C-alpha cells in the first residue's frame, strides 16, 4: 500500500518514505516543479483514498483522513506565496476530482483546530468522505518533526512538559508539542519545530536536560533541513536527498542515450546519489555535500541531461548545505568555502 501511494506518479522525485508503526502514519516527501508536483500530489492522494479505509484505521496520532495532511513547502527560489497558491489549487482539485472534503490550514487556522473539530471543511462537507475522511492542505516553511522518548516520566508529567514547551503557551519559540502513550508503556514527546533557525532539535534536547528530564531515544520523522541537523538527522538531510534525487534523475536520462560514455556516467551518478542520500551531519560532511551538489551541475550539463528542474534542485541543495557550515568550519576551510560561494554566486 505504501509503495502504491509513494509511486503513484513517476514524474515527481520521491525524497523519502518514512512509516511509523505506533502512529500508523507514513510521511512521504517529494519534490518537483509546480505542475508536475501538483499531478504527483493528486496521484498520491488518490492512491491513499483508494487503499485506506478510515473506518478500519487505528493509531495514536490524531488525524482527519486517509491523506491526512498535505503541506506545500517552498524550496530554492520559490516563495511561501507560491506554495499557498499551489495548496489552494491542490485543494480545489482534491474536492472536484476525488470528492474528499478539504480543510485549508495555515495563518488563520491550525491543524489542532481542525483535528479538535473547531472548523468546518472549506470545500465539501460538512459530512466527510465515508472511507477517506478529509484532507488538510496548507503551505508552510520547512520544519522538523522530532520525537523523543521520556523513559523516566509518567504520562501526566510529560503532558505538563509538553504544555510548557509550546510557543502558544509562552514556552520555547517555534515548538508545537503533544504527548503519546505508545505500546509497552512508553511515553513519547512528539514535536513540530517550525522555527528551525531558532529552535533546532539540539536546543529542545538541551532544554529538557536543563530541566532535569531524562531524554531517551530520539526520532526524526521525515527529513531535516541541514541548518537544524543534529546526530539523529544523519542520512536524513533534506538538501542531501534533493541532490541525490537530481543525481538519480540524471542517471536515468544518461541511460536513455545508450552509448558507452553515458552508461558509465549513469553508474557513477547512481553511486553518487547513494552517497549523498546517506550524508552525515558532521561539518566536514555537510561542506563536502554542498560541494558535491554544486559540482553535479556542470557534470550534468556536459552530459546534456541538465534541465531547469534538476539545476534548481541542485542549487537548493548546495545552498542549504552551505548555510549549515559553521563559522569555525569556514575559518578552517577558507579556500574551499570561498570556491563554493563563488560557484553559487
Positions annotated as catalytic residues are 61
Relative orientation angle of helices 334-344 and 308-323, to the nearest 10 degrees: 150
Residue 122: phi and psi, rounded to 5, are: -80, -30
| Full DSSP string of 304-326 | T---HHHHHHHHHHHHHHHHT--
| Full DSSP string of 79-119 | -HHHHHHHHHHHHHHIIIII---EEEESSS--HHHHHTT--
- Phi and psi based region of residue 49 (left: phi greater than 0; alpha: psi -120 to 50; beta: remaining): alpha
3-state secondary structure at position 127: coil
| Full DSSP string of 154-199 | -HHHHHHHHHHH-GGGT-STTEEEEEEE-GGG-EEEEEEE--TTT-
User: Partners of 103 in the beta sheet?
Assistant: 136
Parallel, antiparallel or unpaired: strands 135-139 and 102-105? parallel
The secondary element (H helix, E strand) that includes residue 16 is strand 13-20
DSSP letter (8 states) at residue 126: S
CA distance 208 to 143: 20
Do residues 207 and 189 touch, judged by C-beta distance below 8 A?
A: no
Amino acid at each position: 500500500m505504501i509503495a502504491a501511494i509513494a509511486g503513484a506518479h513517476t514524474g515527481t522525485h520521491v525524497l523519502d518514505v518514512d512509516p511509523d508503526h505506533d502512529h500508523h502514519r507514513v510521511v512521504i516527501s517529494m519534490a518537483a516543479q509546480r505542475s508536475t508536483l501538483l499531478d504527483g500530489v493528486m496521484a498520491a492522494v488518490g492512491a491513499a483514498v483508494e487503499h485506506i479505509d478510515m473506518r478500519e484505521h487505528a493509531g495514536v496520532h490524531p488525524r482527519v483522513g486517509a491523506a491526512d495532511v498535505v503541506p506545500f513547502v517552498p524550496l530554492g527560489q520559490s516563495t511561501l506565496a507560491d506554495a499557498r497558491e499551489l495548496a489552494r489549487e491542490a485543494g480545489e482539485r482534491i474536492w472536484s476530482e476525488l470528492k474528499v472534503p478539504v480543510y485549508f490550514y495555515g495563518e488563520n487556522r491550525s491543524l489542532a483546530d481542525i483535528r479538535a473539530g473547531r472548523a468546518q471543511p472549506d470545500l465539501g462537507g460538512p459530512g466527510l468522505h465515508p472511507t477517506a475522511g478529509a484532507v488538510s492542505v496548507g503551505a508552510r516553511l520547512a520544519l522538523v518533526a522530532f520525537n523523543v522518548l521520556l523513559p523516566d516520566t509518567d504520562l501526566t508529567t510529560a503532558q505538563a512538559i509538553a504544555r510548557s514547551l509550546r510557543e502558544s503557551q509562552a514556552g520555547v519559540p517555534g515548538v508545537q508539542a503533544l504527548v503519546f502513550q505508545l505500546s509497552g508503556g512508553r511515553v513519547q514527546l512528539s514535536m513540530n519545530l517550525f522555527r528551525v533557525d531558532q529552535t533546532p532539535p539540539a536546543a529542545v534536547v538541551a532544554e529538557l536536560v536543563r530541566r532535569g528530564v531524562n531524554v531517551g531515544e530520539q526520532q526524526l520523522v521525515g527529513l531535516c533541513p541541514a541548518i537544524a541537523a543534529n546526530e539523529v538527522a544523519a542520512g536524513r538531510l533534506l538538501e542531501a536527498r534533493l541532490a541525490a534525487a537530481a543525481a538519480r534523475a540524471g542517471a536515468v536520462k544518461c541511460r536513455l542515450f545508450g552509448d558507452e560514455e553515458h552508461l558509465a556516467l549513469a553508474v557513477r551518478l547512481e553511486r553518487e546519489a547513494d552517497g549523498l542520500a546517506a550524508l552525515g551531519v558532521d561539518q566536514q560532511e555537510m561542506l563536502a555535500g554542498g560541494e558535491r551538489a554544486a559540482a553535479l551541475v556542470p557534470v550534468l550539463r556536459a552530459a546534456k541531461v541538465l534541465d531547469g528542474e534538476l539545476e534548481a534542485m541542485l542549487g537548493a541543495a548546495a545552498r542549504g548545505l552551505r548555510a549549515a557550515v559553521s563559522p569555525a568550519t569556514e575559518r578552517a576551510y577558507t579556500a574551499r568555502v570561498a570556491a563554493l560561494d563563488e560557484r553559487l554566486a
